[in-house]
Amino acid sequence: MSEEKKQQVSRRQFLNYTLMGVGGFMAAGLLISPVRMAIDPVLKSGEGGGLANVGIAVDEITNEPTRIDWSVDQVDGWYESQVSRSAWVFKDENDEIVAFSPVCKHLGCVVSWEGSEKYPNEFFCPCHDGRYYKNGVNVPGTPPLTPLDEYEMEIKDGMLFLGDPKPHREA
Ligand code: FES
């Protein structure tokens, strides 16, 4: 084989390697974008969680349960939305702040403080006459089998911040 022939073969190999390298680089570039988009929500952490200022000062909270409504930003994959939340907030007999979820533990209707004239000083669910004592514990013999959930809470600069509902401390 002549020296010239040997050089031609090595040029061809060089071109093959170069084209494969450039092609691979371009393919990787095309793949990175969709992969990045697919895992983007996983890379973002902490959105939608945390505690929200619900717009009531601690000094305004009395022993009478008061309904507080607020909304939080929720990120579900690529979908961002505002979600409404509510709580029954009051100070208990130890002057500790309590924030109960209004979602009935029977089938999820909304409970109200003194929602029935027949049952004063209780939370009442109109769907199936579910009842809860003021401390959120379900009244035995009524449909709910567990106490109302309690919100995580924090007090910052005299304002009440609420997070996610958690099982009642007595559940
Ligand atoms: S949903 Fe509340 S008692 Fe049934």
Greater model confidence, 43 or 33: 33
Tell me: pLDDT of 76 over 70.
yes
The pLDDT value recorded for residue 34 is 61
Give the number of the atom of ligand 1 that is nearest the alpha carbon of residue 107. Answer: 1
Flag whether the pTM goes above 0.85. Answer: no
Whether 168 lines ligand 1, by a CB cut-off of 6 Å, is no
Which CATH topology does 52-166 take?
Answer: Rieske Iron-sulfur Protein (2.102.10)
- pLDDT tier, 11 (very low <50, low <70, confident <90, very high otherwise): confident
Whether 145 lines ligand 1, by a CB cut-off of 6 Å, is no
Residue 3 Cα, ligand 1 centroid: separation in angstroms? 92
pLDDT in tens, 22-37: 777 677 767 666 655 5
Residue 20 Cα, ligand 1 centroid: separation in angstroms? 67
The pLDDT value recorded for residue 17 is 75
pLDDT in tens, 130-162: 999 999 999 999 999 999 999 999 999 999 999
- pLDDT tier, 9 (very low <50, low <70, confident <90, very high otherwise): low
Give the number of the atom of ligand 1 that is nearest the alpha carbon of residue 129. Answer: 3
Spell out the residues 6+ positions from residue 107 whose beta carbon is closer than 8 angstroms to its own: 127, 128, 143
Q: Where are the domains of the chain?
A: 1-43, 52-166
Instruction: Identify the residue whose C-alpha is closest to ligand 1 atom 1.
Output: 107
- pLDDT tier, 15 (very low <50, low <70, confident <90, very high otherwise): confident
Give the number of the atom of ligand 1 that is nearest the alpha carbon of residue 109. Answer: 1
Residue 121 Cα, ligand 1 centroid: separation in angstroms? 18
- pLDDT tier, 49 (very low <50, low <70, confident <90, very high otherwise): low
The pLDDT value recorded for residue 92 is 96
Terminal C-alpha separation, the chain: 88
Whether 107 lines ligand 1, by a CB cut-off of 6 Å, is yes
- pLDDT tier, 10 (very low <50, low <70, confident <90, very high otherwise): confident
The pLDDT value recorded for residue 91 is 97
Whether 99 lines ligand 1, by a CB cut-off of 6 Å, is no
Give the number of the atom of ligand 1 that is nearest the alpha carbon of residue 142. Answer: 3
